[in-house]
Chain A
Amino acid sequence: MKKILPILIVLALLCSVTAATAEELEIQQGEDLFSIGVTLPEGAHVENFTSDDQFSMLEIGFDTEGRPSIVITVAADELYIGQSLSDLTQDEKNLIISEITVEMVSPQVEIRTSQAGYEYIVANETTEANDTSDTMMLLDGYFVMVHVYNEDYSELNPEDAEIGPSIVETLHYLDGGNS
């Protein structure tokens, strides 16, 4: 019975076209308590999205051939309620890094700070078996992950490997969010 209650996660897509034709997304999760906006790279568009009460996933592709796939996931975590990456100790950050890179054989990891002041983790791997770029931000207990990869897992060029960080750099709270 409870299953048919209105879905808690609502993901609204605002296809507001900016001057550079980049698509801006509004991601609203958990009723109206977590609401963020990000801007996609030029030529990228949402192909599919799924959501349940804890997890949202957007699958994003490019208009042109030969560009990578992008997956943006948002998930709440009971263990980090109200916390952002900058609130955590170094050991706690290391734990999250170890979770992100647990299946990587030779990860390259760095913590960056966005222009808006949010810390985020960039974890890349370049191996024969796996070439991927994962960018992870923790905001008020919500993990936001941007996962970039080629469909055949072939090597990402340096420009494509920076897609994740470039999206996270545009992340901002929207009015009504818990900023």
Chain B
Amino acid sequence: MKRIAAFVLTMVLIICIGSVAFAYTTMYVYTSNGKSLNLRDAPSMYGNVMTTIPYGAAVRVNDSFDDTWYSVSYGAYTGYSMARYLVTSYTPYVTYCPTVTPTPTPTTATTSTGAFPNEIFADFESAYYQVLVRPSNPAGYVNMRWAPTLQADIQTRYYANEVLTVVSENSVWCQVMDEEDHVIGFMMRQFLTAYSGDS
């Protein structure tokens, strides 16, 4: 009987700790154009704007309303902001500056059949967690490729808020699996964001 009580108590504690951990997550505003982010009184583009949160400001994320909107506290205000513009670490804004058009790598034998050097897979480490696809543009898509390089053939494409599972990763790429369609490939990690799964 005591064992059951202890087990139940432990589970309750684990759940409470998990809830508290999410309830007080600190995140930072990260907008692609360096502008402020709206804090609205409802989780919708049609909610009234209560205030704007400047780029880089720390906010308290209270809850995840859905994949698109988080409940956010900033100063005296509590409302909703778009999740895609909140990140877990502060990222300085870099003003857009034109770059030289990249020169394509020679495309000799760069096919899906594995003609890439093994070195590109060398620093991958095992992982297992779910992510949401977050294209750089909200209407855009993210390529899943056969290998972790932009020269690799495209396997398929994913659009905003699709859920994938990361099975290995390095600092730039994630090997992701679509558990629904049983497809596996590589995506740039900058287009993936952690998924709490409690939408």
Chain A residues close to B by CB (< 8 Å)? 2-3, 8, 30-31, 33, 52-55, 57, 71, 73-79, 81, 91-92, 94-96, 98-100, 102-103, 105-106, 127-130, 134, 136, 141, 143-145, 147, 153
Asked if B154 contacts A130 (CB within 8 A), the reply is: yes
Q: Given A78-B37, A95-B33, A98-B96: A129 and B138 within 8 A (CB)?
A: no
CA distance in complex: A130, B143 (Å)? 10
Q: Which of B85, B145, B153, B161 neighbours the largest number of chain A CB atoms within 10 Å of its CB?
A: B153
Chain B residues close to A by CB (< 8 Å)? 31-33, 35, 37-38, 43-46, 65-68, 81-82, 85, 95-96, 98, 101-102, 104-105, 107, 110-111, 136-143, 145, 150-154, 159-161, 188
Please indicate the chain B residues that have their CB under 8 angstroms from the CB of A98 in the complex. Answer: 96
CB-based A-B contact count at 8 angstroms: 117
Asked if A55 contacts B107 (CB within 8 A), the reply is: no
Of A2, A99, A127, A134, which one neighbours B32 at CB under 8 angstroms? Answer: A99
Asked if B107 contacts A106 (CB within 8 A), the reply is: no
Please indicate the chain B residues that have their CB under 8 angstroms from the CB of A54 in the complex. Answer: 45, 68, 82, 138, 160
Asked if B46 contacts A30 (CB within 8 A), the reply is: yes
**13 more A-B contacts (CB under 8 A) besides A95-B32, A96-B137, A105-B150?**
A2-B65, A54-B45, A55-B139, A55-B159, A57-B159, A71-B141, A74-B139, A95-B96, A105-B151, A127-B104, A143-B138, A144-B139, A145-B139
Q: Given A78-B37, A78-B85, A102-B136: A30 and B152 within 8 A (CB)?
A: no
CA distance in complex: A14, B175 (Å)? 41
Asked if B160 contacts A75 (CB within 8 A), the reply is: yes
Asked if A129 contacts B152 (CB within 8 A), the reply is: yes
CA distance in complex: A71, B31 (Å)? 26
Closest CB-CB distance, A50 to chain B, in whole Å? Answer: 9
* Interface of chain A: mostly helix, strand, loop or mixed: mixed
Select from chain B the residue with minimum beta-carbon distance to A57.
B159
CA distance in complex: A92, B38 (Å)? 19
CA distance in complex: A26, B27 (Å)? 38
CA distance in complex: A2, B142 (Å)? 29
CA distance in complex: A49, B65 (Å)? 24
> What would be 22 A-B contacts, judged by CB atoms less than 8 Å apart?
A3-B66, A52-B67, A53-B44, A54-B160, A55-B160, A75-B160, A76-B138, A78-B37, A79-B31, A79-B33, A79-B35, A81-B38, A91-B95, A95-B33, A103-B142, A105-B102, A105-B150, A127-B104, A129-B153, A130-B153, A136-B139, A141-B45
Asked if B188 contacts A103 (CB within 8 A), the reply is: yes
Please indicate the chain A residues that have their CB under 8 angstroms from the CB of B139 in the complex. Answer: 55, 73-75, 136, 143-145
CA distance in complex: A3, B153 (Å)? 38
CA distance in complex: A8, B69 (Å)? 14
Asked if A77 contacts B44 (CB within 8 A), the reply is: no
Please indicate the chain A residues that have their CB under 8 angstroms from the CB of B81 in the complex. Answer: 78
Q: Given A2-B43, A73-B159, A99-B137: A128 and B110 within 8 A (CB)?
A: yes
Closest CB-CB distance, A44 to chain B, in whole Å? Answer: 19
